[in-house]
Structures are given as structure tokens and as C-alpha cells.
Structure 1
Amino acid sequence: MVWFETILVVLTVLTGVIWLLDKLFFAKRRAARGGLLDEEPVLVDYSRAFFPVLAIVLVLRSFVAEPYKIPSSSMMPNLLIGDFILVNKFAYGLRLPINNQKVVAIGEPKRGDVVVFKPPHDPQNNWIKRVIGLPGDRIGFQGNTVSINGQALTYQTIGTYSGRGVAFGMDSAALLEEQLPGRPHQILEGLDRHVGEGEWLVPAGHYFVMGDNRDNSEDGRLWTQSHFLPEENLRGKAFLIWLNCEGWFCKGSFDASRIGNRIQ
């Protein structure tokens, strides 16, 4: 969230400035007056102790990997409520914290990538979906079937989804494997629902994203202001589940089998 990034940046800068000013000016003045080490102000002592830690966290979180907790069922069956995941922050270029401005271009999303982003209509929060359409693609969705540039995707029926815990309510959904080019993956769909049908031409610099839980995902099919995700709103590529528990402090159920699973 923006507020957390802002607080982290402010604290890092503030403690760094205090530590630097003391080292360059005030510490020398104390030494010239014959001051002892234990006369160092408490604020300086805390800044010297916390600045390196805050700086390391800021660099890792902004440019290497950021933790993220799955808040909804929109990416079931592949990501569950309670999954804690890691997001690769340099896969699509290095970006500054807070304003998310790209400073180093590295790569672009590929079809099938699971991405974390700021939706155009809710820029204060991070969402997670799968990239279905690339710039220039014509994406269609009719009768629970995705088509890309006029070519309908094929689906392999696996069976009926069997969920547990927070996923128990999806037991009636059909479990399918969607043959997305280069990235086949499992999806869920209702047996008698066709949510968000339509056809969309993805403009340059944008992507079309969808949730794997097709009937329970607020994604590009349903966004009203713009159906497309701007490239500058990307936060990173989801790549690993490192924990699963329903409560923030694992007060709910805990599923050790999901730890270490790669996100496909």
C-alpha cells in the first residue's frame, strides 16, 4: 500500500539525515568540547541503529522482492486466501517507491504471467491477476471461453473442484485446464454463469488481465473506466508462495503443503 511505502521512505530518509548530520557536524563539536560517547543524543543513537535496517528493507522491498498477502478468491484454484507470496520487483523494470516510476527498463510481461499491479480505478491498493492479452491483441470472452486474435482457447476438464478451509465454498465449481499459449494453467468456472462477456482490443502500453476464478473475479472484463491495465501500474511478477495461513498471525488454519510452491 502507498501509505506503508511512504512511511518506510520517510523513516529511512529521516534517520539517515539525522545520522549523517551528527557524524559530519555535531559529533565533532561534542568531541571538541571533550564530550563522551554516552553523551550522544537518544535520537541520534536510534537513528544510527535503525537507518541501516530501514535502508536494507527499503532496497529489498522496492527493487528485489516484495511480500504480498492474497486477500480474495479471484485467483483460485492457484492462489488461495491466506497465501503469502513473493513478488519479483525487477522482472518488469526497476521502479521508484511511492510513485512507481520506472527508472531502469528490464523486461515486459509475458502472456500468462501472474502480476501484481495498481488497478486504474483503485490506485491506492495492489491487486493480482493473470495477463491474458498483450498490446495489440484482440481478446474475446464468450460462453466462458477466451479467444485471442480470433482463436478460441481449448480447455481440458479435470473435474469438480474440491476445496478446503476458505476454499470450501467453491466445491461446486468446475476445474479446468486452460491452454493459454505458453502457459497452460488451471481455472475455475461456474456451470451456468457467463460473467463479463465481450471483446476488447488491447491498446499499446496496456495489458488485459483476468482472474483464474472466472466467475468471481473483478478484472478487465468488468472495469468500467478502462478495461486495460496500464504498463506504468505494474508492481511486479508473482513467483513464490512462502506461507499459507488464514489469520495474519496464523491464528487460523495453516497449510504447510503450499510453502515453497512456485506460481504458474
Structure 2
Amino acid sequence: MAALAEVSAVVAAHLAAAAHLEAGEMILSNTENQQVADAIHRAEIGTSGEILCVLSEADSYYPHVALGWAAAIALLIPYLLWLTGINIGMMMPPGWQPGHWEDAMTIAYHRFGLGYTVLPIALFIVTYGLTLVPPVSRFLTPQRVRRKHVHNSALEQFRAMGLRRTARRTGVLIFVSLSDRQVEVIADEGIYTRVPPDAWADAVAAIITGVKRKEIATGLVEAVERVGTLLATHFPPSAENPNELPDKVIEL
């Protein structure tokens, strides 16, 4: 597979202003979608490059991170309680002890065993469930894990939307993950060889500003314009200059 160039910007603090949407609700209105589509059309007139915008509001889940936290809590809490001298076995209700066991030491060991079995299992289940809740998951998931997830999602959309099939390999994807609060710009091989990754910083900054003002469409329009200007400098329009991708915003 040909190499892809990419530039990522973590914008957690800036995208926190984005409102949470109900299932099935559009991120942009029809008017806003048309504004971005028109911006893409104008930008592509001056370049042979192709621009596509993808907005994702879908909550991201990190089950492997949830499993890690659940296992850590289930193991550490009983150990910390033991270190502090708290007898977990005494937390077990009297009804849990076998009635036919009369030896006090045997009963103590029984309750101790149940305590160190039931408590970790309960802690694991509760912690795992809580860490799957999207806001909690985002808070507990390391930034590098979230960055990798968004990067992989952007690459997946890059391939799925056909940006790798442009004639001159000059497709650019602007991917905004509102749930993970991150932005990625993915450029195809034809652009990678001539445009450094940090050249997309202005486009990312425009999206950040737009989201902070709760004007996502405005941010996307400005980002598209900046990407279009950059592409026009390095990739002027060809004689035919076909429009190889739809001029629109894809919402996930």
C-alpha cells in the first residue's frame, strides 16, 4: 500500500465546547452542509487536488482500556485494604458462613476466602461498566491511545471514501472527531512528496476556532479554503480538471 502522509492535532480543550447530539441528529444543518460543499467546490476549481470533509460524532469505546482499569482496580483495592489492616473477610455477612462448620478458625478462613473472591469480582464488574461510559472512557484513556484510534479511523475513512483512487493521488481528507475531540488531515502520496505535514496546521487551527465558537461549519469552510490555497500552490488545475469526489460533508 502506498504511504500516506498525515498531520494530527489534539484539540481536547478546544473541542470540549461541541454540543453532544442525540442519536440520528445531524451535526450540520442543510444550509451549513451546503456552505461547506460550496467552499469545497470553489477550492477545487483552482487545483487538481480533491478535498473531502468527514465529521464524526459517534462515541468511541476503548474496551481494552476498560479491561485494564477494571483488572487494576480489582487487584489493587483488596491489596490496599489488606495493607491498611482492614479485614475484608469480616465484610461478608454472617449468612455466608456454612452452618455446619463449628470451628471458628475454619469459618474465618471461609469468610476471608469469600471476601477476597467476591470483592475483586464485584470491583471488576463495576469498574468495567463505568469505564465504558463515553465521558469516563475519554477521561481514563491515555491521549496517545485516543490519537491512534482517531488516526486509524481517519485512515479507514480515507480508503472507504475513495481518496486513494484519484488520478494524480492528490486527495486530502479533513477528519474531525467530535467525540474524541481531535482533528486529522490525511494527504495522499502525490501531496506527501511535496507538502510537509506541518503545512496543514492553519487548516486545523481554523477548525479549532470554529468549534470553540460553536460554528463548526464556519471552521470547516475556513479550513477548506486554506487547504485549497495550499493545493493550488503545488497542484494547479489540469486542462480537464475533473471532479473525482463529491463536494460534501460526510457525517458519521
Length-normalised TM-score, structure 2: 0.28
State which structure, 1 or 2, has the greater radius of gyration over its C-alpha atoms: 2
Relative contact order, higher structure (CA 8 A, sep 6+): 2
Length-normalised TM-score, structure 1: 0.27
User: Greater strand percent: which structure?
Assistant: 1
